[in-house]
Amino acid sequence: MMDSKDRVAVGGLVFFILIIVSFAVLMVVGGRKVPNDIPVMQFVSGTEYNVGEAGQVIIEARFENGSSALLYPCVFSIVYPNKLTFLVQNGTTGSNGNQYVMFTVPNVTGVYEYQANCTLVTGNQGVISKSFHVSEFQNATNVLLHRVNAEITK
């Protein structure tokens, strides 16, 4: 028979083992190491656009192991240079797990800010912003090139 000291020792050992097992379970969630595997969100787009071009904003959110961290489609918003809303749209998921929206570049030159608001598989919200530029100089250059090409083909 165990005396009270032995029972306390066994109880303490069982408690210690339960703590270790609980910690190990918390460390591995769905095959991911939680403390060291925080998803990284980044835009993989951003460029100089001409008026009327096809534009695209792309975001990725990945864990260190390369798996996508996006739970639902992200909500993308783009604002004109004067900060009025140009577009608010849910993203489309590409075959690689990235999210994107496509649009036609408007005829207002300047710097546009775009933002993605995403729900991650961790349950957290991720918000990230970046900008692209619609260039007046580049648009003027393209107009001149089209005129030159039209003259050459006459």
Query: Regarding the domain with residue range 40-152, which homologous superfamily does it belong to in the CATH classification?
Result: Macroglobulin (MG2) domain (2.60.40.1930)
- Domain layout of the chain by residue ranges: 4-30, 40-152
Helix (H) or strand (E) run with residue 137 in it: helix 136-152
- pLDDT tens digit string along 11-61? 555 555 655 555 444 444 444 444 446 888 998 887 899 999 999 999 999
Comparing 8-17, 79-88, 104-113, the range with the smallest average pLDDT is: 8-17
Assessment of whether the complete model's pTM goes beyond 0.75:
no
Residues 104 and 119 sit within 8 Å (Cβ to Cβ): no
The band of 118, judged by pLDDT with boundaries at 50, 70 and 90, is very high
Scanning the structure block, which residue is given the tokens 């990945």? 62
Determine the pLDDT at residue 152: 81
Exposed, middle or buried by CB within 10 Å (0-12, 13-18, 19+), for 51? middle
Determine the pLDDT at residue 115: 97
Name the DSSP letter for residue 108. Answer: -
Cα separation, 93 vs 59, whole angstroms: 10
